[in-house]
Every structure is written in structure tokens, then in C-alpha cells.
Amino acid sequence: MKSNENYVYVVLVKAHTGLGSIARAVTGYEYTHIAVCLEEPFSDFITFSRRRHYAPFDCGFMHENLECYAYGKHNRVKLKVFKVPTDDAGLVRIKSYIADIEADSEYIFNLYSMATMPILHGFKIYKALNCMSFVAKIIEMTGAVKLSRKYYRYSIKDMDRLLTGYLYKEEFFYKKSAQDGGYMKRVSPLINAGLFFRINSKLIYRMIFRRFCD
């Protein structure tokens, strides 16, 4: 083991959302969300996700906490954590990648790739990511495993298999606070309709006019 070895924690989440329950019923696979943590204890889950529970189309880059996963009647959530090694240079690349995305307001959620993943197996849209493509890119940057296809073509189940040798723990984690920071605030149907129109218009525009951009 190298003396300069660092770790990135890849976290699979058994989400309590309605969509998560439907996905589990259809696929028989329990994990429906994925994030990364850069350190223990696990309190900062970095990912692409919805920003409010009741606003699924208000989504993008997120720093989540356990209260985003264990909310309401749920006081715990099941997580599967992989401890993935990387060297100093890899950790610098990963932190820089995260910082660049967080600072760039152009990044949006790649809803279309996520929704069609079982059929089309992922596709790229200019400056659009989802939890799977974001985390797969970080896994690639660690250098711990070799990706055999483009990072945006990896599902959560694919990454689960890819990281088998780095399994760290799989257990229930309990929320630490009753405060959710507004995450569970209700959103009106009108606002949700506006958010739906906004993200779809951005994605369609980029698919038509920016399809050859990196």
C-alpha cells in the first residue's frame, strides 16, 4: 500500500422515495441513488439529485445529508459504502472536478439519460449529469478500477459490481437531527409544472444545438 494513499467513499442509497420503491419493484435491485463522500463520518453526500423532496424537477448538484434520506416517519436509511483508494494526484483531480461543477451554474440534471438508462444505457448531454454519471466519473478519476465503457453508461448496479472488492460497510444509518433545512417543504403543482418545463426546455435545447459540445 502506498504511503500517499487516500480514499473516496462511494455510497449507494436505498431511497425512501416513491420512484425508488417503483424501481425496486421493477428491477428487484434495492439501491436507487448514489453519492460520494470525501471523508468520515459520513455527513456530506455529494451528488446530483433533487434539491427538495416534493420538487423532483428542481434538481442538480447537491450536498446532501442523512436527513435527505431519512425523513418523516423514516429515522434510518440503508447505505452500502465502498472505500475506494486513490493517490494524492487522484484526490486533487476529484476535488477540483467537484469544485468546478459546483461553481458552474450551467450544470443541470440529465433527466433523460437517467429515465432511459434501462433501455438506452446512458447518453451524454452538454453540461448535464445525474447521480450515476457524476459518481462514475469520480470512480474513473480514482484510478482504482478501469471502466470498460464511457462513464455515463454505468448504472448504480454496474458500479456496485465494479467496486465489489472495495466494500466497506452495508448497514442502516440513523438521522442525527429532526431538522431538514427546508428539504421537506411542500411545493405547489404550479411551481412543479414550471420547474418541469424549465429543465425539459434546457435539455431539449442542448440536445439540438449543443450536441457536439463537450
Q: How far apart are CA 201 and CA 153, in angstroms?
A: 23
pTM here is 0.94
**Do residues 35 and 11 lie in contact, with contact meaning Cβ atoms separated by under 8 Å?**
yes
pLDDT tens for the chain, residues 1 to 214: 344 689 999 999 998 888 778 888 888 899 999 999 999 999 999 999 999 999 999 999 999 999 999 988 889 999 999 999 999 999 999 999 999 999 999 999 999 999 999 999 999 999 999 999 999 999 999 999 999 999 999 999 999 999 999 999 999 999 887 777 789 899 999 999 999 999 999 999 999 999 877 7
Query: Within a domain: residue 1?
Result: no
If we measure between CA atoms, which residue out of 50, 21, 30 comes closest to residue 157? Answer: 30
User: Grid cell 493517490 — which residue?
Assistant: 87
What is the count of structural domains for the chain? 1
Query: Within a domain: residue 106?
Result: yes
Query: Within a domain: residue 129?
Result: yes
Contacts with 34 (C-beta within 8 Å, 6 or more apart), sequence order: 10, 11, 12, 13, 47, 131, 132, 135, 156, 159
Domain of residue 113, residue span:
6-176+183-209
